[in-house]
Amino acid sequence: MRKLYITLSFVMVSGILSAQNQYTKAADKLFDRYEYVDAAKEYLKLAEGNKADSYVYKQLAESYYNVFNTKEAVKWYAKVVEQKQDAETYYKYAQMLKAEGNFNESDKQMQQFAQLAPNDQRAKAFVSKPNYLPELKGQTKLYDIAKSDVSSDKTDFGAVLTNDNNVYFSSSRNTSRKTNGWNEEPYLDIYKATYNANGTISDAVAVENINTKWHDGPASISSDGTTMYYGSESFNEKEFTKDKPKNAKFGKIYLYKATKEGDKWVNSKPLPFNNKAYDVRNPSISKDGKTLYFSSNMPGGFGGEDIWKVSVNGDEYGTPENLGAKVNTEANESFPFITDDNVLFFSSNGKTGFGGLDVFKMDLNKNDEAINVGEPVNTSKDDFAFTYNTTKKVGFFSSNRDGVDNIYKADPICNFRAVTTVRDEITGKEIEGALVVLTDEKQNILSSFTTDISGRTETTLKCLPVYISYATKSGYENSNIYKVEIPDNEFGIDMTVDITLKPIAPIITEKEVILQPIFFEFNKSNITAQGASELDKLVVVMNEYSEMVIFAKSHTDSRGSDSYNMKLSDRRAKATVQYLISKGIAKERISGQGFGESEPKVACKTCTEEEHAQNRRSEFLIVKK
């Protein structure tokens, strides 16, 4: 049922107008002088003395933001946004949350930002998601496929390869059978064929003692080959519902179990959780025989057909359990198959795909999200009933891409995911923006990516015996060379490498402490993550030389007016000083001043970009050592 809520509201908001006042005068003066550490202390006194309001909270947050104290900034921004704020405040809060690793909450704040500033490019970048179809088409190819020679001109689907080289599948190829009204094809039977050493399938014959006059299949065979679970119709049990106006009887799909004696399947019996009120079908038994997966539209699901599982202990069965929202949607999820290594394949028309039913896979060992297996397995048609034999490393699936359900063979393409994490050798912190390069043994570059905020890169590569990994970043020595050996015949594994980078130590001369360049955002003076990392090195030096006194000089290039450059450089110098004080350096030991473009390192009238970069610098002069 659709509900439409229309709310017309006229709201009058009353409350305290928060702004500077007699209590904030001292703190505001410090803040306006960019003395954020002391300003924060003064604002904190007001907060602790119950004299704080939203203005004080915001000034606290801004103070901590400007010296990159992310933990405290997050704490106070949280109080600030209890009331509606301007767009930039939400943006800053989001960045601080991200720096603290709280990505979910960061996204929420970015959503607020995007709503208030929809034309801002940062907002556009956040809300714009690439069309999902190109993303799917751009996925790494996982399988090579070919139409199986076991397919006929009728419906064929649900092929499963056993360890004793038999292939079981369902087919309507028996033209001597009665046709059904749904597609005017004969009723489905379960067939068995031989899987040959060259990958072909031959000698398909109907399974004796199992097939009925109704639809039968598909089937699942236990790992020891002695037990079969399969679908058939409830009419076998004389169970159905009557529709008197239509003068019809409607059956359901039930699950059955049979056991093998010699070469024959016998002792077929329905499972106890069958019910004429819903379908129970498409079984898949786990390697240990203790868990049976199936699809059903039984009550308690998400809508449509869902994937369920039930515990098995001989002929006793537990209560069916829904696999939950990671697998199921309000649409249809069906045709589950569980591999020997606990990877679940299933088909869905509710998850993002190419159209119709698509095949998905989910590693139950890792509780990962289900992923679309991509082309060429999936198309705009129905692609379903994917099965995979981990011993023989071959899969089968079904598709109606050619107008009728056919069986296709899927050969996995050997590939692996190279996961690299880069950390600071001294602090152990993850390093964002490090360049990770992977090569083969002949030094041919396989991939080259920069690390994200968690210090990670991930890339999928085709299998090779060995690959080489190393990392670089400005301000750090180049990493060691890591040689990674890939296990034979492994598919889809993760190869994880941890790389450490050693920070380049500051150079201490008689006159100055030389650091790597400290970068600021355009037209801004707040300390960035990169700047904080570099200034931390100066903190170490000044703690080691306890009497050292530093004078920080900030310089700009010659672009922009003299007045503009002088003011900008002075703000940056003061922000630098405040950061060092926030790290415990006594204010008597650190001072700073901006010099704009008045003291260029390279005198040039028409400067190159490199010359501009050399002139744009910070210097840390030793006043006292």
- Cis before 336 (ω within 30): no
Rounded distance between C-alpha atoms, residue 298 and residue 353, angstroms: 25
CATH number of the domain bearing residue 480: 2.60.40.1120
pLDDT surpasses 70 at 7: no
Rounded distance between C-alpha atoms, residue 409 and residue 395, angstroms: 6
Q: Which of 453, 473, 501 is the last residue of a domain?
A: 501
One-letter amino acid for residue 381 of the chain? K
488: CB partners within 8 A, 6+ apart: none
Calculate mean pLDDT across residues 262-271: 94
Burial track 518-555 (b if 16+ CB lie within 10 A, e otherwise):
bebeeeebbbeebbbbbbbbbbebbeebeebbbbbbbb
Burial environment of residue 19 by CB neighbours within 10 A (0 to 12, 13 to 18, 19 or more)? exposed
Residues 360, 371 contacting (CB under 8 angstroms): yes
Let me know whether 387 and 430 are in one domain: no
E strand or H helix at 537: helix 529-544
Who wins on pLDDT, 359 or 530? 359
Residue 604 in domain: yes
CB atoms closer than 10 angstroms to residue 431: 26
Question: Could you tell me how far CA 503 lies from the centroid of its own chain?
Answer: 30
Task: For residue 377, give both structure tokens.
Answer: 């397995």
Residue 70 in domain: yes
- Residue pLDDT, tens place only, 453-474: 999 999 888 878 888 899 988 7
Per mean pLDDT, which range of 115-124, 460-469, 606-615 is the poorest? 115-124
Residue 572 in domain: yes
- Residue pLDDT, tens place only, 64-112: 888 778 889 999 999 999 999 998 899 789 878 866 778 678 778 988 9
pLDDT surpasses 90 at 492: no
Return the C-alpha torsion angle 577, 582, 584, 585, nearest 10.
10
Give the pLDDT confidence score for residue 272 in this predicted structure: 96
Query: Could you give the angle at which helices 54-66 and 36-48 cross, rounded to 10 degrees?
Result: 150
- Cis before 218 (ω within 30): yes
Let me know whether 405 and 441 are in one domain: no
In 328-370, the DSSP E strands lie at 333-338, 343-348, 358-363
* Percent of the chain residues topping a pLDDT of 90: 50
Calculate mean pLDDT across residues 513-530: 83
Report the residue count for the chain.
Answer: 625
Let me know whether 181 and 81 are in one domain: no
| Average pLDDT of the chain, as a whole number | 86
Q: What share of the chain is helix, strand, coil (3-state, %, to 5)?
A: 20, 35, 45
The number of folded domains in the chain is 4
Rounded distance between C-alpha atoms, residue 309 and residue 131, angstroms: 34
Give the pLDDT confidence score for residue 121 in this predicted structure: 61
CB atoms closer than 10 angstroms to residue 249: 13
Let me know whether 320 and 454 are in one domain: no
pLDDT surpasses 90 at 229: yes
Let me know whether 244 and 200 are in one domain: yes
Looking at the DSSP bridge assignments, the partners of residue 475 are none
pLDDT surpasses 70 at 130: no
Residue 138 in domain: no
Top mean-pLDDT range of 11-20, 229-238, 505-514, 605-614: 229-238
Give the pLDDT confidence score for residue 318 in this predicted structure: 96
Let me know whether 205 and 107 are in one domain: no
Per mean pLDDT, which range of 211-225, 228-242, 301-315, 488-502 is the poorest? 488-502
Residues 485, 453 contacting (CB under 8 angstroms): no
Give the pLDDT confidence score for residue 58 in this predicted structure: 93
Let me know whether 493 and 356 are in one domain: no
Residues 311, 348 contacting (CB under 8 angstroms): no
Let me know whether 402 and 526 are in one domain: no
Residue 429 in domain: yes
Domain span at residue 364 reads 143-412
Location of structure tokens 């009353």 = 14
Residue 344 in domain: yes
Residues 19, 7 contacting (CB under 8 angstroms): no
Q: Which of 381, 412, 443 is the last residue of a domain?
A: 412
Phi, psi (5° rounding) for residue 192? -125, 135
Residues 323, 308 contacting (CB under 8 angstroms): yes
DSSP secondary structure string for all residues of 184-231: SSBPPEEEEEEEPTTS-EEEEEEPTTT--SS-EEEEEE-TTS-EEEEE
CB atoms closer than 10 angstroms to residue 288: 10
Residue 157 in domain: yes
Let me know whether 247 and 325 are in one domain: yes
Please report which confidence band the pLDDT of residue 292 belongs to, taking 50, 70 and 90 as the band edges.
very high
- Residue pLDDT, tens place only, 141-155: 889 999 999 999 999
Q: Which of 461, 476, 501 is the last residue of a domain?
A: 501
pLDDT surpasses 90 at 452: yes
pLDDT surpasses 80 at 430: yes
Give the pLDDT confidence score for residue 171 in this predicted structure: 93
Please report which confidence band the pLDDT of residue 139 belongs to, taking 50, 70 and 90 as the band edges.
confident
- Residue pLDDT, tens place only, 351-407: 877 767 889 999 998 878 899 999 999 987 789 999 999 999 899 999 988 878 999
Let me know whether 354 and 291 are in one domain: yes
